[in-house]
Amino acid sequence: MVHIIGAGLAGSEAAWQLASRGHRVRLTEMRPGTNTPAHTTGNAAEMVCSNSFKSDDPSSATGILKAEMRRMGSLILRCAEATRVPAGSSLAVDRGAFSAAVTAALREHPLITWETAQVDRPELHEPTLLATGPLTAEPLADWLSAATGKGRLHFYDAIAPIVERDSINLDIAWMATRYDKGDPDFINCPMTLEQHERFLDALLAAERTPLADLDTPYFEACLPLEVMADRGRETLRHGPLKPVGLDDPRTGRWPHAVVQLRQDTLAGDHFNLVGFQTRLKWGAQKEVFRLIPGLEAAEFARFGSIHRNTYLQAPSVLDATLAVKSVPGLWVAGQLAGVEGYLESAAAGLAAALAMDGALRGLPATPFPADTMTGALLHYLAHAAPKDFAPTNAMLGLLPALAEGAVDARALKKAGGVRALRAAKGGIHRARALASLEAHLLAVDQAR
Ligand SMILES: Cc1cc2nc3c(=O)[nH]c(=O)nc-3n(C[C@H](O)[C@H](O)[C@H](O)COP(=O)(O)OP(=O)(O)OC[C@H]3O[C@@H](n4cnc5c(N)ncnc54)[C@H](O)[C@@H]3O)c2cc1C
């Protein structure tokens, strides 16, 4: 018997995967008896906000992740595809029909026992998966916090936008660190007085996401950019737009203001805008941040956000199979484990289930290869820097870099711009990921 706590995106997928491999599953969900501030039904896999599983483009990160999940018999993806609604190149669903389909599949499975109860602490008599999500009920969050160590469970999320390196204009921006201390690791975007004024006007006028009840108040040390700007027109120049110690090679002087971008992924494809956590609506972020010199054509791999989110400091708590290092027999999946998004949460549930299946059969833990999208997500959770750890979506930049010369970047950019280059890289990543997944699944099958 396996115990799964939480029948959201991750828990539902995990329950299905384990039952499909012959394990008896006890699935405990607190809804509808106790609700979260965002859920409104008693169904499994309820989508609390948008109805989209993101891009279906085969060469995108989510396209690759979907291909992997499809290959592994994902219940979430099967139900999503069965209930899809027209949404261009995205996989969007009729949310009611989708969660009804997942619920029916789980309830009808002879090896799954569904229980409605709020769990305040897991019993741990049997292998247990915590998949209670970003709105984990408080007593269980308190237990997890105590079990994993002080300061390793976070309750909110402040994310700065990430842009693709290839879309930054390095004829305007330049690489340097403040006062040239250490390696020139930051990309710096200079602003004149006029550019800074124009940027501020746009930032202050831009549309913001309204605060909801389930949002935690801001932390002073991590205010949204626009809230800092509300406090005075010079505030940002003393914070994230500070120009001191940054000589613009084109003028030999410090600009009026500077936006710094820091490398975000090992492959170096993505850079985040330092200190730019924000509540601006996504469309507004695109418009306002493209006013920054050097970012006029920026392609966003992720937008900024600030919302309530319970998640573990995964690199210090989990291994690359989502097992909790300090609590034998306990795994964590979904948003609580440090991924972000419906699809990613379901993928993490799938991966945790396969790891638990292996453990129940007495096999050594076998992480997914890091060049699969599933493996890249888990690798990031296990190996990112613990101090600044923030939850992640599936992104091509999490995958290991392609071999030198794998694509002719200059020719592709000339022919079709950044999009053509991204599609070509994505296609190669996809082929490598699917081949690697096949080899991994074969090896796991043989070990069983
Ligand atoms: C307000 C909000 C909006 C979001 N919008 C989006 C979006 O638009 N697109 C997107 O891709 N992602 C979105 N996310 C992020 C995330 O992808 C989803 O929250 C996703 O549902 C996470 O999957 P999960 O399985 O980890 O958690 P959930 O799907 O939340 O499932 C967790 C389950 O555990 C149950 N539970 C909690 N505590 C207990 C307990 N103690 N005992 C028993 N059961 C318990 C809950 O009732 C819930 O059913 C949003 C998150 C939030 C908070």
- Ligand 1 pocket check: which of 3, 135, 350 to mutate, most ligand atoms within 8 Å of Cβ? 135
Decide if pLDDT at 448 tops 90: no
Q: Which residue's structure tokens are 């402040």? A: 158
CATH class given for the domain over 162-303: mainly beta
Among 291, 28, 295, CA closest to 137: 28
pLDDT in tens, 199-234: 999 999 999 987 665 455 555 556 889 999 999 999
Distances (CA, A) of 79 to 20, 30, 73, 75: 16, 22, 11, 6
| DSSP E strand boundaries for 212-335 | 257-263, 270-273, 300-302, 305-312, 330-332
pLDDT at residue number 217? 52
Which residues lie with the beta carbon below 6 Å from any ligand 1 atom? Answer: 5-11, 28-31, 36, 38-39, 48-50, 118-119, 131-137, 140, 214, 334-336, 341-342, 345
Residue 2 — φ and ψ, nearest 5°?
Answer: -120, 145
Give the pair of three-digit tokens for residue 306: 């600030």
Among 368, 377, 333, CA closest to 3: 333
Per CATH, 2-156+308-447 and 162-303 having the same topology is answered no
Q: Give the chain's length.
A: 448
Whether a cis peptide bond, with omega within 30° of 0, leads into 139 is no
The vertex-82 CA angle with 78 and 87, nearest 5°, equals: 110
* Beta pairing, strands 300-302 & 305-312: unpaired
Distance in Å, CA 280 to ligand 1 centroid: 22
Percent over 70 (pLDDT), the chain: 96
Dihedral, CA of residue 183, residue 189, residue 190 and residue 195, to nearest 10: -170
Distance in Å, CA 272 to ligand 1 centroid: 25
Fold for domain 2-156+308-447? FAD/NAD(P)-binding domain (3.50.50)
pLDDT at residue number 66? 98
Domain ranges across the chain: 2-156+308-447, 162-303
Distance in Å, CA 427 to ligand 1 centroid: 31
> What is the pTM assigned to this prediction?
0.81
pLDDT band at 266; cut points 50, 70, 90: low
Rounded distance, CA 243 to CA 250, Å?
Answer: 15
pLDDT in tens, 91-100: 988 989 999 9
Among 375, 339, 371, CA closest to 355: 375
> Whose alpha carbon is nearest atom 14 of ligand 1?
341
Decide if pLDDT at 398 tops 80: yes
Give the pair of three-digit tokens for residue 438: 């096949």
Among 398, 285, 271, CA closest to 338: 398
Identify the residue with better confidence: 224 or 107: 107
Rounded distance, CA 144 to CA 155, Å?
Answer: 12
